[in-house]
C-alpha cells in the first residue's frame, strides 16, 4: 500500500486543500493528513479544532486519515511507514520554498520523496491566510471553504472582535 503524507497547518482547511487530498488518492492508496501545531504561524484555531475541521471536510472520502504531528516531518514520515510527502504548488513563488524544503528533507532522509501537485485551476489562488482575510472583512466564504468551516471561521472572527 502506497501512503502519502500531506502535512500542513490547515488553519482552516480550504477547498484547495481538499482538492489536493482527493487528487492525491489517484497516486496513493492512502493519504494521511498530518496537522501541525505550528505556533509560529499563530493559528486562529487550536490543533484539536483544526483536526476536527479536516475530519469533517474529508469524512466522505475513503482512505484518508487525519492525525496530528509535531517535530521533524521526515522523522514522522519514516515512523509512519509512508512513501512520500505531498505538497501543493499554487504558483512559482510556492515552488522556491517547497523545492528548498524537498531538498533538505531528502538530505535528512534519503528514502523520503516529495510529490508536488498543482491544485485544480479554480483553487490555484486559495490560501488559508487569504480566506481568513476575507472572513475578517465580512466577505462571502461559500466558494472557498465547506459551509461548516465558514460558520466556524465567522464565529471565531466575531468572538475576537468582541
> What residues are labeled active site?
17, 41, 90, 128
| Bigger pLDDT: 57 vs 94 | 57
What pLDDT does 92 receive?
75
pLDDT digits (tens, 9 = 90+) for 93-149: 788 889 999 999 999 999 999 999 998 989 888 889 999 999 999 999 999 999 999
Residue 73 domain flag: yes
Total domains present in the chain: 1
For residue 39, is pLDDT > 80? no
Cα torsion at 2, 26, 84, 21 (round to 10°)? -120
Residue 99 domain flag: yes
Q: Which of 53, 73, 65 is nearest to 25 (CA)?
A: 65
The CATH number that applies at residue 80 is 3.40.50.620
What pLDDT does 74 receive?
95
For residue 52, is pLDDT > 90? yes
Give the residue numbers spanning the domain of 18: 3-124
Amino acid at each position: 500500500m502506497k501512503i502519502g503524507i500531506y502535512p500542513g497547518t490547515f488553519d482552516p482547511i480550504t477547498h484547495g486543500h481538499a482538492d489536493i487530498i482527493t487528487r492525491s488518492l489517484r497516486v496513493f492508496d492512502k493519504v494521511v493528513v498530518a496537522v501541525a501545531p505550528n505556533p509560529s504561524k499563530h493559528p486562529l484555531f487550536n490543533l484539536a479544532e483544526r483536526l476536527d475541521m479536516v475530519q469533517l471536510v474529508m469524512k466522505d472520502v475513503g482512505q484518508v486519515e487525519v492525525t496530528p504531528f509535531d517535530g521533524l516531518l521526515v522523522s514522522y514520515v519514516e515512523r509512519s511507514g509512508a512513501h512520500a510527502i505531498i505538497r501543493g504548488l499554487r504558483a512559482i513563488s510556492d515552488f522556491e520554498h517547497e523545492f528548498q524544503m524537498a531538498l533538505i528533507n531528502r538530505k535528512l532522509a534519503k528514502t523520503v520523496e516529495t510529490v508536488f501537485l498543482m491544485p485544480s485551476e479554480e483553487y490555484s489562488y486559495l490560501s488559508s491566510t487569504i480566506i481568513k482575510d476575507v472572513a475578517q472583512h465580512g466577505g462571502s466564504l461559500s466558494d472557498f471553504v465547506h459551509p461548516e468551516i465558514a460558520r466556524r471561521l465567522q464565529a471565531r472572527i466575531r468572538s475576537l472582535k468582541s
